[in-house]
């Protein structure tokens, strides 16, 4: 694997612009695979609420649309962006649709799910809205299943602890 760190990736945002994930160095990240036609889609509201609560403390949510589970994200990037902004007022960073599972898994999601790069929280993406918490030093410090709402106490307390920490010197 050529990417040794989450900050090594350059991703396309939902508008098609390149975004080096290195621009998020020093911030706490919640990386989430999202979908518009899923039973967990209402989690967008919780994600947005979490983002609003902590963004002033260098917290970012990075949403990665994926159509890997029962074709629950069939739209184009433009349709996804419009859906998220009109239905859920999402203003955290959304990225271009990628694959998070299977033969076409994007290298970022290989990094997040493979044992060699994420020994503590590795494993296949089980469904839409899996969440990875990355601390200010770029370390994956937690993972939450789709069923765990973004406003669940375990997510909130983990985010709170991460934003309270400092970048290692």
Is the residue at 148 inside a domain? no
Q: What is the pLDDT of residues 24-65, one digit of tens each?
A: 999 999 999 999 999 999 999 999 999 999 999 999 999 999
Is the residue at 20 inside a domain? yes
97-104 long-range contacts, CB within 8 A, separation 24+: 97/64, 97/65, 97/66, 97/67, 97/73, 98/11, 98/64, 98/65, 98/66, 99/66, 99/67, 99/68, 100/33, 100/64, 100/66, 100/68, 100/125, 100/130, 101/66, 101/68, 101/69, 101/125, 102/68
Nearest partner of 152 among 36, 33, 40, 34, judged by Cα: 40
Signed CA dihedral, 28, 34, 38, 44: sign only: positive
Is the residue at 107 inside a domain? yes
Looking at the structure of the chain, the number of domains it has is: 1
**What 3 state SS string does 106-133 have?**
CHHHHHHHCCCCCCCCCCCCCCCCCEEE
Is the residue at 70 inside a domain? yes
Is the residue at 159 inside a domain? no
Is the residue at 165 inside a domain? no
Chunked mean pLDDT (size 10), the chain, 169 residues: 81 98 97 97 98 98 97 96 96 98 95 95 97 97 98 98 86
Which CA distances in Å does 126 have to 19, 92, 138?
Answer: 26, 23, 23
Range of the domain at 75: 6-143
* Residue numbers annotated as active site: 38
Is the residue at 164 inside a domain? no
pTM above 0.85, yes or no: yes
H or E element at residue 70: none
Q: What is the pLDDT of residue 1?
A: 44
Is the residue at 43 inside a domain? yes
Domain of 22, CATH number, reads 3.40.30.10
Q: What is the pLDDT of residue 166?
A: 85
């Amino acid at each position: 694997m050529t990417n040794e760190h989450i900050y090594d990736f350059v991703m396309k945002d939902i508008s098609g612009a390149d975004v080096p994930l290195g621009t998020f160095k020093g911030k706490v990240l919640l990386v989430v695979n999202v979908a518009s036609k899923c039973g967990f889609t209402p989690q967008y509201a919780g994600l947005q609420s979490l983002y609003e609560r902590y963004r002033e403390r260098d917290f970012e949510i990075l949403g990665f649309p994926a159509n890997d589970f029962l074709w629950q994200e069939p739209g184009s990037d433009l349709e996804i962006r419009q859906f998220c902004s009109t239905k859920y007022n999402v203003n955290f960073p959304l990225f271009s649709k990628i694959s998070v599972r299977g033969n076409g898994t994007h290298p970022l999601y290989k990094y997040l799910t493979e044992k060699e790069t994420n020994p503590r929280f590795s494993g296949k993406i089980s469904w839409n809205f899996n969440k990875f918490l990355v601390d200010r030093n770029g370390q994956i410090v937690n993972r939450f299943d789709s069923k765990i709402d973004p406003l669940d106490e375990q997510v909130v307390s983990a985010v709170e602890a991460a934003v309270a920490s400092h970048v290692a010197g």
